[in-house]
Structures are given as C-alpha cells and as structure tokens.
Amino acid sequence: MFCTNCGKEIPQGVNFCPFCGARVAGGVVPQVVPPVSRAYFYNPIPDIIVILTDILIIVSFFLPWVTLGAAGYPSQGFSPLRILREGGVAWWVYIIPIALLVAGFIELLLSLFRILSRGKGWWKSWWYFTDGLGYILGGVLWWVLVMYAPAIESMGTYYSLSDFTGGGVQAGFGAGLILVIIGGALEIVAGVVAYAGKRS
C-alpha cells in the first residue's frame, strides 16, 4: 500500500501517512469522544435540616431562656421577648437573642431559595458548621453572661443571677435556650451531610 500524496509505502490499515501526514484514501477518521462531565445532583437534605434549625431558633425567642424559682414557689420563665418588653437589664441580654433570631430568619430564607432553585446560590458547606457553632456558642455565652455578669437592674444597681441564687433563688435552663443548642447541633449535622455528599 502506497501513500497517494508522497508515494511512500505505508502499512495496511492506517488512516494517515506516517511520513507526510496525509489522509489515506479509504481510511476511517476516528471520532473524538468528548470527556463526560460529572453531573451535579443537588441534595436538599442539608437545607431541610437548616430550615428545621431556623424554625427552632425563631420559636425559641418566644420561649423561656431562663427559669427562676425558689423553694415553695413555682418557677417563672423569662423569654427574650418578655425580657425585651419588661426591660431592666443590660443591653446585651436581649441583643444576643435578637441577633440569633435575625440570623435564623435570614438563613431560613436562604435555605428556601436554595431548595426552590435546586441548589443555586452562593453557599458553602462549611457555613453549616460555623452557623451551628455560632448558635450554640451564642446560647452558652448568653447564659454565662446573665449568670455571672451584672446585668439585672434593681433600684439603680446591676446584679447577676448568681447574686440572686445565693439568696435562695434557683436558676435553670429554659426550653428556649435548649432549643437554640439543639438547633445548633442540627445545623452541624447538616454540615456533615453536605460534606459527605460532596465527597461521594
């Protein structure tokens, strides 16, 4: 078999001349198969978990974050909303719950948008971890500050809950604060699910 372009003898079955590169008559042009791109599948489970988290955070604002009681008397619960209405406390006592409430509401809207748009939007999996830790640390910080920092005003003087507990008052975690901590833990779970989905 000879090349029709340069006239040199070439092996049988080749498509192009190894000497001049011309296409051999009757040769079959190989088809180039484009690389298969990895398909993107949106997993809504992390955002569904986040929505549940944010609902807990929003509901917690209306539930007691701390309960106060004494021997022989029923305990009273103080929600951030009640604290905000009644006042008489340092500003950070209600600023921290309000900040968590606003963050939960914004995050709820973002998660709903991601579900409706099938994963579109600027969102990173590590946000689940940071937001979850933020909720937990925010709730714990609030408790520590209220317990040990002068925050409650009484007759022109600020006291901490530990000052009152020394006088026989008992302070406990309210249902709202427990929901905040559970919500933060759930969001960390959402981060694990999102990270595992990216790795698979």
Q: What is the structure's pLDDT at 40?
A: 58
13: three-class secondary structure by DSSP: coil
Beta bridge partners of 130: none
Average pLDDT over residues 103-111: 92
178: three-class secondary structure by DSSP: helix
pLDDT in tens, 62-104: 999 999 888 777 888 999 999 999 888 988 899 999 999 999 9
Amino acid in the structure at residue 121: G
Integer Cα distance of 192 and 195 in angstroms: 5
pLDDT exceeds cutoff 60 at 170:
yes
pLDDT in tens, 37-51: 555 577 889 999 999
pLDDT exceeds cutoff 70 at 199:
no
What DSSP assignment string belongs to 40-99?
P----HHHHHHHHHHHHHHHHTTS-SEEEEETTS--EEE-HHHHHHH--B-THHHHHHHH
Domains of the chain, CATH where assigned: 1-33 (no CATH), 45-199 (1.20.140)
pLDDT exceeds cutoff 70 at 175:
yes
Q: Collect contacts of 143-152 with beta carbons under 8 A, ≥24 apart.
A: 143/65, 143/66, 143/173, 143/177, 145/92, 145/93, 145/96, 146/66, 146/93, 147/171, 149/90, 150/90, 151/89, 151/90, 151/92, 151/93, 152/88, 152/89, 152/90
Q: What is the structure's pLDDT at 30?
A: 52
121: three-class secondary structure by DSSP: coil
Average pLDDT over residues 3-10: 78
Integer Cα distance of 197 and 194 in angstroms: 5
Q: If phi over 0 gives left and psi between -120 and 50 gives alpha, with beta otherwise, what is residue 133? A: alpha
Q: What is the structure's pLDDT at 26?
A: 61
